[in-house]
Amino acid sequence: LFGGRSYMPSTQRTTEKWNSVADCLPHVFLVDFEFGCATSYILPELQDGLSFHVSIARNDTIYILGGHSLASNIRPANLYRIRVDLPLGTPAVNCTVLPGGISVSSAIVTQTNNDEFVIVGGYQLENQKRMVCSIVSLGDNRIEISEMETPDWTPDIKHSKIWFGSNMGNGTVFLGIPGDNKQAMSEAFYFYMLRCSEDNSSEEQKIVSNSQTSTEDAGDSTPFEDSEEFCFSAEAISFDGDDEFDTYNEDDEDDESVTGYWITCSPTCDVDINTWVPFYSTELNKPAMIYCSHGDGHWVHAQCMDL
C-alpha cells in the first residue's frame, strides 16, 4: 500500500479547516494476509506523499507513475520501481527512481495482454484533462512507456472539464462525463466504452473506439421492458398459476388500473398498484418488466427477479 490522503490530525485542525486533508506520509505498507499484520517502510527515494497515482504490478515488482502532491499542487513526472523480496525472515522492500515518467493523476489502467497495459484519461493539470493514451510494456527488470494513437474523442468528451471511469478488464475502459447543466435534468450523464485491443489482422495495429450508450434525458431513455438486451430464457425460477395472469396485454396501456404491469408475475411478487414505488431510475410511473421466454412466454417484474 502506498499513497492516499487522510484528515489532518485533530491537534492541527482549526474551525475553518476542520475537514482539511493532507497527503499520507510516504510510507510503504506491506500487508501479510496470512498472519493478519502490516509493516511500514520508509524509503529514502520517496520524499513526498502522493495521491491519485497510477500503479502497475508484475510478479514481485510494482511501478508507480505520476500522482498529485497536495502540498505543492503539482503532478510530477514520477516513475518509481518498488521491488518486494520475501526471503526467510524479514521481507526486503527496495525502491528505485527511474527516468521517463509521465505527469498524470486519476488515470485508468487497463491490461491488454500479459505484459502490456494502457493508461487512459486522468489530468495533467487541475483544469486540463490528459487526452493522450500511453502504452506501458513490462519485461524482466524493464519498463517502456510510449504514446499510442489518440482516440477519436467525441466533442462532448473534448469539451467536458471532468471525466471519470473504471477499468472493465480485457482492454476495455468505461468512461463517464456529466451532461450539460443547462438541460432540464442536470444530473444526466454520458457514458462511453473505450476498447484498446489488438486487431487480429495485425499484431502491431491497435483498435481504439468509443461509443455513446446513454441519452441526454433519462425520461427519453429506453425503458427496461422495451429493451431486447434484457430478454432472456430462464429456468432458475418456476412460476405457478394460470398463464392468463402472466400475460401482458398491450391494449391495456392507456388504463394503468388494469394494465399488465400490475400482474402477479411470480409467487414472491409483491408489486401492488396502491403501494408501488419506483425501484429503478428507469421506472417513472410503472414498474420495469422483462419478457421471459420460458414456456409460452410471460412478463415479469425486474425487481421481482432481483435484476
Query: In degrees rounded to 5, what are phi and psi of residue 158?
Result: -60, -40
Residue 207's DSSP bridge partners are 197
Residue 105's DSSP bridge partners are 123
pLDDT band at 222 (very low <50, low <70, confident <90, very high): very low
Query: In degrees rounded to 5, what are phi and psi of residue 177?
Result: -135, 150
pLDDT for position 210: 42
Annotate 156-216 with DSSP letters as a single string.
HHHH-S--EEEEEETTEEEEEEE--TTSS-TT-EEEEEEEEEEETTEEEEEEEEEEE---S
In this prediction, what percent of the chain has a pLDDT beyond 70? 77
The bridge status of strand 142-147 relative to strand 164-169 is: unpaired
**Contact between 226 and 288 (Cβ < 8 Å):** no
| Amino acid in position 20 | S
pLDDT for position 127: 81
Rounded distance, CA 175 to CA 105, Å? 15
pLDDT for position 129: 92
Rounded distance, CA 83 to CA 60, Å? 6
Rounded distance, CA 252 to CA 288, Å? 16
Residue 95 annotated as part of some ligand binding site: no
In this prediction, what percent of the chain has a pLDDT beyond 90? 31
pLDDT in tens, 169-221: 888 999 998 876 555 555 578 889 998 865 433 333 333 444 444 444 444 44
Residue 133 annotated as part of some ligand binding site: no
Rounded distance, CA 198 to CA 31, Å? 36
- The x, y and z cell numbers of residue 229, run together, are 438486451
Is residue 293 predicted with pLDDT exceeding 90? no
pLDDT in tens, 20-34: 888 999 999 999 888
Residue 269 annotated as part of some ligand binding site: yes
Which pTM does this prediction carry? 0.62
pLDDT for position 205: 31
List of domains in the chain: 5-151 (2.120.10.80), 261-306 (no CATH)
Rounded distance, CA 191 to CA 132, Å? 19
Q: What average pLDDT does the chain have?
A: 77
**Contact between 59 and 142 (Cβ < 8 Å):** no
pLDDT in tens, 236-246: 333 444 444 44
Is residue 64 predicted with pLDDT exceeding 90? yes
Which of 60, 78, 59 has its CA nearest to residue 3? Answer: 78
pLDDT for position 122: 93
- Give the H/E segment covering residue 93: strand 92-97
pLDDT for position 202: 33
Is residue 272 predicted with pLDDT exceeding 70? yes
pLDDT in tens, 115-128: 999 999 999 888 88
More confident residue, 282 or 48: 48
Tell how many helices (H) and how many strands (E) occur in the chain. 1, 20
Is residue 130 predicted with pLDDT exceeding 90? yes
pLDDT for position 208: 41
pLDDT in tens, 149-164: 888 898 888 888 889 9
pLDDT band at 133 (very low <50, low <70, confident <90, very high): very high
Q: Report residue 275 CA to chain centroid gap.
A: 35
| Amino acid in position 56 | I
- The x, y and z cell numbers of residue 91, run together, are 521481507
Tell the residue number behind the cell numbers 510510507, with chain if given.
27
pLDDT for position 90: 81
pLDDT for position 29: 93
Which of 43, 55, 50 has its CA nearest to residue 22? Answer: 50
Residue 159 annotated as part of some ligand binding site: no
| 56, burial (CB in 10 Å: exposed 0-12, middle 13-18, buried 19+) | middle
Rounded distance, CA 236 to CA 119, Å? 40
* 3-state DSSP percent of the chain in helix, strand and coil, to 5: 10, 40, 50
pLDDT for position 42: 93
